[in-house]
Structure 1
């Protein structure tokens, strides 16, 4: 089976891939809008930090696009929002951090609006994941968690994907049985990476409703810099 692909910023994403994979896209995990008053009802005291768990996100959460957040914050590009997010979780060295962007983001996340899923594949992607993992006739998907050395095959259902995502560590790879498509989480980040053997994945990404940036020969995993 395909081994987990470790992406570093020493070379472009496409250079990291096995030769059969010709296309890649960075998928922006949606922000999470919970019902009005949800955080106040859940918080035990005014200092407690509350974040919805996976089940709460699926049952009550609504996806909010990066473009919507960019508009409310006055950001011009996805890269500015990416820098704001990475800075706010202390995932950047000082020379790359943008405290001004992080402060602007924080000031605009009001009410019951929360950051996207960090390190993980977004729960909002599950229905589309099922479609893609079954796209070429595969009925099972393969999952791999290299950090905890956990892997295996499961039938491609929403219930099985929910289970894997709920229990996964910070690094996770999913692929269909034929290994035509690959989804990967990215540590200390709010994106996923989508790989395909097909040279043109634009139609599929757009058909799934994913907010994405398509990779070319100059796209690094540190795409926001």
Structure 2
């Protein structure tokens, strides 16, 4: 038996998701981080994301160490959008906008298009995988309709609410929070906190949240606009019926890169390889001529 907890290998970055969890869980759900709207809370800059693109000069003002190193020319993202609503505002006045709604509104193919659009928007993809046309289409729609985009790599307010309610539903009150690098572990008793107080117990890099008996677990990773719920099939049926999360059940083939068809990543990487080789040959041709 492979112990993903003791081996500090909880998130399934590689391989089939269900295979990764098979020694602990037989059912895994991919839950999307939701878009949301807050009535009368608009972005003055028409930027409905937590991040904003800033110049190198402004980045140096925020991060002193950049003044002492040579920084390549690249897009720099700052997660300090002053217009972004607070957790308190989201908790009290936010309304979830489902991925399905946005897919239908702007005519996307399915949830894979949204995931690729979101990943493109934060520069999480290599050039060959980028989908700027999808990202632009999504951004135009959300801006026009005052819809805030999800933020990658951490549990949002609505997901935390769902997590709290699921733990309470199954009477799982002793909860473990583990950070990204398995360096900080804290245990809390849900009976000591209100729903909103529970939200505030999350640190930005708490990536593994599970009951102390390990029967229910929630996990996310840094560039993702979704997280995973892992448990047994009986509990999972109940969790899905509660409708706190939008997403889909993993089958035996589902991987972390579920937004690509089998073999699609390999084909794109092969195209990238040929393009790079062609560019290299062209460079050397100019050198020798």
**TM-score w.r.t. length of structure 1:** 0.86
Alignment match, 1:197:
232
Distance 1:218 1:42 in 2: 39
State whether structure 2 residue 251 is matched by structure 1 residue 216.
yes
Alignment match, 2:139:
106
Alignment match, 1:29:
33
What is the number of equivalent residue pairs in this alignment? Answer: 219
Alignment match, 1:147:
181
Shift of 1:52: 2.2
State whether structure 2 residue 213 is matched by structure 1 residue 178.
yes
Shift of 1:224: 0.9
Distance 2:137 2:46 in 1: 26
Show CA shifts across 1:80-122 (max 9, x none). 1111111111111112111111111111112421111321112
- Contact 1:4/1:144 (<8 A) preserved: no
Distance 1:21 1:36 in 2: 43
Distance 1:136 1:206 in 2: 14
- Contact 1:84/1:102 (<8 A) preserved: yes
Distance 1:75 1:55 in 2: 32
Distance 1:4 1:150 in 2: 15
Distance 1:218 1:112, change over 3 A: same
- Contact 2:37/2:148 (<8 A) preserved: yes
- Contact 1:25/1:195 (<8 A) preserved: yes
Partner secondary structure for residue 149 of structure 1: coil
Per mean C-alpha deviation after superposition, the further-off stretch among 26-35 and 55-64 is 55-64
In the TM superposition, structure 1's runs of 4+ consecutive aligned residues that sit over 6 Å from their partners are: none
Judging by fraction of residues, say which structure has more helix: 2
State whether structure 2 residue 5 is matched by structure 1 residue 16.
no
Partner secondary structure for residue 128 of structure 2: coil
1:6 to 11, 16, 26: 11
Show CA shifts across 1:53-88 (max 9, x none). 323321332111101111222112000111111111
Distance 2:256 2:151 in 1: 18
Distance 2:196 2:235 in 1: 30
State whether structure 2 residue 171 is matched by structure 1 residue 137.
yes
Distance 1:202 1:75, change over 3 A: farther
Alignment match, 1:121:
155
Please give the root-mean-square deviation of Cα atoms over the aligned residues, in Å.
Answer: 2.6
2:90 to 42, 57, 82: 57
Partner secondary structure for residue 201 of structure 2: helix
Give unpaired runs (5+ residues) of structure 2: 48-53, 55-79, 261-289
Partner secondary structure for residue 108 of structure 1: helix
Alignment match, 2:204:
168
- Contact 1:143/1:151 (<8 A) preserved: yes
Distance 1:188 1:164 in 2: 21
Distance 1:98 1:60, change over 3 A: same
